[in-house]
Structure 1
Amino acid sequence: MKLAYRLAYFSGGFIIGIAFLFFILSGKKTSCAYGPESRTLKNIRLKERAFSESTLNVLRENKMDTSVVSLLLEDGDVLFSESNTDLDSCRQYVIEGEISKKNLKITVENCEKLATVLEAQVTSNH
């Protein structure tokens, strides 16, 4: 088979495959979380969340509510160097990011079915 025919068959199959994926996956909430940070944040986002009393107090003092934690889990950065990922049952992750011109840093205990925000720190961003 000539090279031109091979390229034509390959191109035709490639275009059909791309069109198939485009129509099948369009409109759905599909995502590809390949990096460890993306996988960690997605795993925490999908679980039921609980908040410690100290976390709620810190958020109240800074005129924030628990929705800022949801925003942080979308756009925050996981600090693996400060996290305790060696635990067997519930690993602890430190996540930080900027919300409403303030730096928010939280510690999350990520268990099998529940993610608990253990503590929060808010600092001004000057």
Structure 2
Amino acid sequence: MLKKLKFYTIGLIPGLLIVFFVLNQKGASCSYFPNDRVIAETLTKDFSYSENFKKEMETSKISEQFLKDSIISKGEIDFDRSKAQAEPCPQYLLIYPKKNPRMEINYSKCKEKAEFTSLKKLK
């Protein structure tokens, strides 16, 4: 039994290392949790902004790049207050940051685009 376990670990450890480095170089990621899947899918869409949202971005001095790279990527979807089953475009409420939220963003995610409707600063 010990001999089998030894051969198993000799194959398992190098195999895991190879898979880890190959997938890491390709930039592959696994998004199994609902929050991660919604955010990853949102980032693949074309963004459109309501006039109110544009004004709030200007007032808060938030660039589109910062919105994508930080706020959306590091935010969390509040599924209790979202309408994820709405047709034809699910509506989501994103809070940023995950702990001690300071912003709420409402947006709808359609097949071709994500339309951001409101940006609200908390506190």
TM over 0.5: yes
Aligned pairs for 1:1-126 within 5 A: 3-70=1-68, 71-98=70-97, 103-124=102-123
User: Structure 2: where are the runs of 5+ without partners?
Assistant: none
Q: Structure 2 counterpart of 1:44, which letter?
A: T
CA distance in 2, matches of 1:19, 1:67: 34
Contact in 2 for aligned 1:58/1:122 (Cα 8 Å): no
Measure how far apart 1:120 and its partner are.
1.2
Greater C-alpha Rg: 1
Measure how far apart 1:18 and its partner are.
1.1
Measure how far apart 1:116 and its partner are.
1.0
Q: Secondary structure at the match of 1:117?
A: strand
CA shift in 2, pair 1:5/1:39, >3 Å: same
Q: Deviations over 1:16-70 (max 9, x none)?
A: 3113213312322121212111111111112221111110011112222223321
TM-score, structure 2 as length reference: 0.84
Residues matched between the structures, number: 119
CA shift in 2, pair 1:15/1:62, >3 Å: closer
CA distance in 2, matches of 1:90, 1:46: 15
CA distance in 2, matches of 1:19, 1:78: 33
TM-score, structure 1 as length reference: 0.83
